[in-house]
Chain A
């Protein structure tokens, strides 16, 4: 089992719609979870962090965490063409402060 899994293929959404991304992780003791956005040819940019079960909202982004199900999700509301990017789910492993990443989900917002 992979440490972090993002299984969805490329996601195409119309402008103004909601994009939904999912991620599962294998380590039950993980406490810190992150979503990074990565534009083509650029480095990952932190957009959300979440540490507690439930929802966390920041602007048009909402992260959801369910530790019992080992599941993290990201919702992008009112999607804009500038949201077209690859979204990386990451889980922090304490001790060596190591982030384990999923392979990412590409989002394409269609004007």
Chain B
């Protein structure tokens, strides 16, 4: 089975531009979440979606938005890019639900965003 797939893998944007990152979860997984990881730090939670509904939002500005589609894929949008948005953006999927093992989270390879 394919793991979590993300696109694009690398991209360079200019300050003020907009970016869309895409993610397909592991087959059968209904929960998708997004994390931002800057160099030297652990990943920081941005959003979580389950069954197409937003279930959680981290401490990020409104420039960050996301959605989940009926096929459980997801996209993360960032408007008005700042230099500080340069980071590795990770998509993660899990089965969802309330069982312990159902909430094991698996990460994709990530999208490296550089803002210049």
Contacts of A90 in B (CB 8 A): 42
Does A103 lie within 8 Å of B41, measured CB to CB?
yes
In the complex, A49 has a CB within 8 A of chain B: yes
Q: How many residues on chain B are close to A (CB under 8 Å)?
A: 31
Does B106 lie within 8 Å of A98, measured CB to CB?
no
In the complex, B64 has a CB within 8 A of chain A: no
In the complex, A76 has a CB within 8 A of chain B: no
Give a binary string over A50-85; 1 marks a CB under 8 Å from any B CB, 0 the rest: 010000000000000000000000000000000000
Does A98 lie within 8 Å of B48, measured CB to CB?
yes
| Minimum CB distance partner of A36 in chain B | B107
Q: Give the bracket for the number of chain A residues in contact with chain B.
A: 20 to 34
Most buried by B among A36, A46, A96: A96
Contacts of A4 in B (CB 8 A): 42
Those 3 A-B pairs whose CB atoms lie nearest each other, nearest first: A96-B56, A101-B42, A43-B110
A sample of 26 inter-chain contacts (CB < 8 A) reads: A4-B42, A31-B100, A32-B103, A34-B105, A43-B90, A43-B109, A46-B104, A46-B105, A49-B101, A51-B100, A92-B105, A94-B103, A95-B55, A96-B45, A96-B55, A96-B56, A97-B50, A97-B96, A97-B105, A98-B56, A99-B35, A99-B92, A99-B105, A100-B45, A103-B40, A103-B41
Identify the A interface with B (CB < 8 A): 4, 31-32, 34, 36, 42-46, 49, 51, 88, 90, 92, 94-104
Identify the B interface with A (CB < 8 A): 31, 33, 35, 40-45, 48, 50, 55-58, 88, 90, 92, 94, 96, 98, 100-101, 103-110
Given contacts A32-B103, A98-B56, A99-B43, 11 further A-B contacts (CB under 8 A): A36-B107, A42-B110, A43-B88, A43-B110, A44-B43, A45-B107, A46-B104, A46-B107, A95-B55, A97-B105, A99-B45
